[in-house]
Chains A and B, each alone.
Chain A
Amino acid sequence: MIELDSIERVFQVGDEEVHALKHVTLTIDKGEYLSIMGPSGSGKSTLLNILGLLDRPTSGTYRLDGIDTTSMGDNEQADTRRHRIGFVFQSYHLVPRLTAAENVALPLMLSGMAPKERHVIVEQALDNVDLLDRAEHRPDQLSGGQRQRVAIARATIMQPTILLADEPTGNLDHISGESVIEVLEALNKQGIILIVVTHDMDIGERAARRIRMVDGSISKDVR
């Protein structure tokens, strides 16, 4: 589970201090499905980056599965990201010169797993997103929806506790977006915490818990 306690994030822009997050306190239980919505500059992305340990809060504490992450060193945070957190980005961020299977295998590769062991796990993951027949294709040979599904397979291959999706359907047409959301929701049903940041009201409304952010604070938290 996730426990945020009065998280603040202040950016220095020129001479000005920008308070991107103002005393955000939030608890997310195991297996929750959460959407974060709000206008541009409301701090949704900053919150997501802090949840994903890509960014550090200026003050406040963030406990992940009971462990304080704010006191972690750089390497420890990297290890935590590798094992507990999965990312899905709007622009997929697949490595263009690697095949779908290699992209999915990347986290396993980085953690030092042998190619033989990886093989079965990668096949299973590709099968889960219905792309087993595209395993040897490169990203430029895949459609947008397929690319995002490859990215989801990659994000979940380490069996993380949290899946963070930043506008996962932002670059997709309605039908592809729908199928991507279905895949994400299916993963949530298996117990993963799913956090979706989106502008799309339709997609945001699907979440069991809906958070609205305005000016760096949570203005609404509806279950």
Chain B
Amino acid sequence: MQATDFIRLTLGSVFSQHLRSFLTALGIAVGVAAVVLLTSIGEGVHRFVLAEFSQFGTNILAVTPGKNTTFGMSGAVINTVRPLTMEDAEALKRVADVEAVVSVVQGNAEVEFGKRSRRTMIIGAGHAVPAVWQMDVEIGRFLPDDDPRNARAFAVLGSKMADELFGSRSPLGEIVRIAGERFRVIGVMESKGTMLGFDLDDTLFIPAGRALEMFNREGVMEIDLLYRSTANVDQLEEQISRLMQARHGYEDFTIITQEEMLETLGSILDILTLAVGALGGISLLVGGVGILTIMSIAVNERTHEIGLLRALGTRRRQVLGLFLGEAVLLSATGGFAGLVIGAGGAALLGLAIPALPVHTPWYFVLLAELMAVAIGVIAGVAPARRAASLDPVEALRAE
């Protein structure tokens, strides 16, 4: 049989029962739409979260004190974690491929200017923050490259901090009191928004050495370093680990690369997307059952026709193909409609609720359509086989 005739015959039988075919295809359409819509939202959330985490750049490596492993010996003997020091940071600066280093100390303190005061997050850091965390100053400049042990008392405000304390006045050159100590404001950061609910603008930067004193800490909480994008991360990690072990005597620190973190996060989010996709898949399955039902009914109703086709010399395989073709036509059309509904719905949802991140990746679309076709084949194969295996004499005689 020619392909055009095959398509015409199949279309003809599907259209002759238009209401029934429409409803059956609708079942698949709803399923595919659900899969596309849900995975679009899942993928949107995925991208949103990754973007939140990578807004500080991806070529970052963090060294934190302590080791996340359990040792076999009694903890009391070797449980002496040496703090990470400013000297460690200085040493790391000299490792090849490292472009910039920031020692981080965090704490909360009261910031006062005139009669206003505000408790906020104080970040003790160094001059390399703009480079390493990809943040820029809006006005003024960031902390200067002072000797870390003896840095001048300068402060840089987060944009919200500046608004709260100074309103419309320029804070540059003003003196603020942080936990009682005087700091001169030399810059205001650009607004960076929030990250997972944490307001990045409601902060204040001071030199790390001063923050150590202010919060009475022995060591910094983290050393972030920016490496060249061309660097081999594994080698770099190895080098840093060796250097730190030489300085501390044993491995009492943890190295986390941004890449690793994003990978872990990515795989968690992949599972999320998969899970919501599977949820939509259930309705697709129900659509498949609809096709199975309708095709079984069609084979029963058209027993005479099958007998006739066999009498006219149609081979069993051709009968199988015709009925399978109808099932696939139903599922593929339904699937296509579902794609349009799902992708359109996702786009509308994105417009209606801008806060909801929505993204429809084309390979999901393709996958959903292929899945619809596959469901058509799976659902159609049993009825089609029954049609093909009918005895022509019985089929022609059937009431």
Contacts and interface: CB of A to CB of B under 8 A. Distances in A.
Contacts of A106: 309, 312
Contacts of B311: 52, 54, 81, 87, 93
B308 A95 contact: yes
B254 interface: no
A52 to B, nearest CB: 7
Nearest to B3: A112
A52 B393 CA distance: 10
Interface string A96-123: 1110000000110111111100000000
B6 to A, nearest CB: 9
Q: Which of the listed residues A54, A85, A98, A106 has the most CB atoms from chain B within 10 Å of its own CB?
A: A54
Given A109-B1, A115-B5, A55 B312 contact: no
A178 interface: no
Contact of B310 (A78, A96, A98, A109): A78
A25 interface: no
Interface stretch (B9-17, B39-47, B236-244, B374-382): B9-17
Contacts of B396: 54, 89, 93
Interface in B345-399: 392-393, 396
A115 B308 CA distance: 21
Given A49-B393, A54-B393, A115-B4, A93 B304 contact: yes
Nearest to A160: B313
B1 A110 contact: yes
B235 interface: no
A48 B366 CA distance: 52
Interface residues of A, number: 32
A200 interface: no
A137 to B, nearest CB: 16
A79 B313 contact: yes
A112 to B, nearest CB: 5
Contacts of B2: 109, 112-115
A197 to B, nearest CB: 13
B307 A78 contact: no
Contacts of A112: 1-2
A114 B305 CA distance: 22
A93 B308 contact: yes
Contact of B313 (A82, A89, A113): A82
Contacts of A87: 311-312
Nearest to B316: A74
A51 B245 CA distance: 94
A93 B307 contact: yes
A102 to B, nearest CB: 8
Contacts of A114: 2
A54 B308 CA distance: 11
A154 B313 CA distance: 12
A134 B25 CA distance: 34
Contacts of A111: 1, 313
A107 B392 contact: no
Nearest to A81: B313
Contact of B12 (A55, A83, A97, A158): A97
Interface string A49-73: 1001011000000000000000000
A116 to B, nearest CB: 11
A75 interface: yes
B314 interface: yes
Nearest to A103: B308
B300 to A, nearest CB: 15
B315 A55 contact: no
B108 interface: no
A110 B312 contact: yes
B318 interface: yes
B5 A55 contact: no
A107 B12 contact: no
Nearest to B302: A95
Given A93-B304, A98-B12, 7 more contacts: A54-B311, A55-B393, A79-B315, A93-B396, A97-B13, A107-B313, A110-B318
The 4 A-B residue pairs with the shortest CB-CB distance in the complex, in nearest-first order: A82-B313, A97-B16, A81-B313, A93-B308
Interface of A: 49, 52, 54-55, 74-75, 78-83, 85, 87, 89, 91, 93, 95-98, 106-107, 109-115, 154, 158
